């Protein structure tokens, strides 16, 4: 006699159970409540409806407490893993040209890419404030899906927490990423040598300016949008023709000035910049002049700074300019022996000044 519970596909009860299991939950609330972080049905429905439905892939669909990968397939793509993590607390959540979700995906991709890695897998953990509109969260998750699909990466695991109203600021996102570094590539700020040239892939300060205007605290109007974009394809294009690149870094918080100071101190070299060569939009310059800011310290979310031997400089510049993410690339400076650990800027007036590390914070909650 057949038992009442069986795995037989012919059993009507089993078929009904399997149908229920496969059915994804649906959020019925209009705003986040504490129940959405409780670990119960409300949380399950939120995860199904907002995250699983957008990020769905074979690894995530297992809904385990971790994601597992085939090491053999990873090793076929390179000889080292790159692993990074970042958190995003930008205010406001939406700004010209992007939002916190797109920022989280591209920012983590770029942190992997500048090591010479091919980004493959990301995590997504969210801290939600009680009262956040569900529709806001849905829009952000959808933008994360679009950004991930565009970059060809998978969001494979994550976590959701809810805090009391007033204990956070709407939504914080933490992401971690794994990539594989191709064999023969060794990008590090410690590799920089005198004679290297410094190349950047376009205008600086656009993201910081876009956030500043979006906050609506100033009576300023511009058409500046964030430069948020993934850089991994541009990096791959560079490494295809020049795996000897010494160092790469994305210029986010602290801007171009901070990255170059990190370069100079890591290799104990000097860096000389030419102000006339640094691409800055006139609108960005105008905002900085009004507010007393320095565009060299403004945040970017799609700017790649490259240090490469002079013998490869023009070739790397040309291939960067041939790529959509680097069409405005230019050489902005050079690496010198001394003074070690110092960045100097030749101004448009012919004078020279030290570009030091940022003291304080020009603009908090920028990413």
Domain boundaries, the chain: 26-181, 189-354
Integer angstrom CA distances of residue 48 from 36, 147, 177: 12, 19, 22
**Residues contacting residue 52 through CB under 8 Å, at least 6 positions apart:** 24, 60, 61, 63
**Residues contacting residue 323 through CB under 8 Å, at least 6 positions apart:** 233, 234, 237
Interatomic CA distance for residues 299 and 228, integer angstroms: 10
| Number of C-beta neighbours around residue 318 at 10 A | 12
**What pLDDT sits at residue 21?**
53
**What pLDDT sits at residue 10?**
63
**What pLDDT sits at residue 24?**
82
Question: Which option is the CATH number for 26-181: 3.40.50.1370, 3.30.590.10, 3.30.1330.10, 3.40.190.10?
Answer: 3.30.1330.10
Check: CB of residue 132 under 8 Å from CB of residue 171: yes
Tokens at residue 162, please? 């809810």
Domains 26-181 and 189-354 in one fold: no
Check: CB of residue 333 under 8 Å from CB of residue 294: no
| Number of C-beta neighbours around residue 223 at 10 A | 9
Render each residue's pLDDT in the chain as its tens digit; 367 residues.
455 544 555 666 555 545 545 578 999 999 999 999 999 999 999 999 999 999 999 999 999 999 999 999 999 999 999 999 999 999 999 999 999 999 999 999 999 999 999 999 999 999 999 999 999 999 999 999 999 999 999 999 999 999 999 999 999 999 999 999 999 999 999 999 999 999 999 999 999 999 999 998 777 778 899 999 999 999 999 999 999 999 999 999 999 999 999 999 999 999 999 999 999 999 999 999 999 999 999 999 999 999 999 999 999 999 999 999 999 999 999 999 999 999 999 999 999 999 999 887 778 899 9
Whole-prediction pTM: 0.92
Interatomic CA distance for residues 60 and 62, integer angstroms: 5
- Tell me yes or no: is domain 189-354 CATH 3.90.650.10: yes
């Amino acid at each position: 006699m057949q038992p009442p519970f069986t795995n037989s596909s012919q059993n009507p009860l089993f078929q009904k159970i399997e149908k229920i299991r496969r059915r994804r939950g649906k959020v019925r609330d209009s705003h986040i409540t504490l129940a959405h972080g409780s670990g119960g049905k409300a949380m399950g429905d939120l995860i199904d409806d907002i995250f699983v439905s957008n990020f769905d892939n074979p690894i995530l669909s297992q809904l385990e407490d971790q994601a597992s990968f085939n090491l053999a397939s990873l090793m076929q793509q390179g000889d080292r893993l790159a692993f990074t993590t970042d958190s995003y607390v930008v205010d406001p959540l939406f700004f010209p040209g992007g939002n916190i979700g797109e920022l989280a995906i591209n920012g983590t991709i770029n942190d992997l890419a500048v090591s010479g890695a091919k980004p493959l897998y990301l995590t997504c953990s969210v801290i939600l404030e009680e009262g956040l509109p569900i529709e806001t969260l849905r829009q952000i998750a959808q933008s994360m899906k679009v950004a991930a699909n565009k970059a060809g990466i998978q969001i494979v695991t994550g976590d959701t927490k809810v805090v009391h109203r007033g204990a956070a600021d709407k939504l914080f996102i933490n992401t971690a990423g794994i990539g594989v570094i191709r064999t023969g590539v060794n990008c590090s700020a410690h590799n920089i040598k005198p004679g290297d040239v410094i190349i950047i892939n376009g205008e600086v300060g656009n993201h910081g300016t876009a956030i500043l205007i979006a906050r609506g605290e100033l009576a300023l109007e511009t058409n500046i949008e964030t430069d948020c974009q993934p850089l991994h394809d541009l990096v791959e294009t560079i490494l295809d023709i020049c795996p000897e690149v010494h160092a790469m870094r994305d210029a986010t918080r602290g801007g171009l000035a901070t990255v170059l100071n990190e370069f100079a101190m890591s290799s104990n070299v000097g860096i000389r910049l030419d102000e006339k060569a640094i691409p800055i939009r006139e609108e960005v310059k105008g905002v900085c002049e009004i507010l007393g800011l320095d565009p060299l310290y403004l945040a970017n979310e799609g700017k790649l700074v490259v240090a490469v031997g002079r013998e490869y400089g023009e070739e790397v510049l040309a291939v960067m300019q041939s790529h959509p993410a680097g069409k405005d690339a230019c050489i902005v400076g050079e690496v010198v022996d001394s003074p070690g650990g110092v960045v100097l800027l030749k101004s448009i007036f012919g004078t020279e000044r030290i570009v030091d590390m940022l003291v304080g914070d020009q603009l908090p909650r920028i990413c």
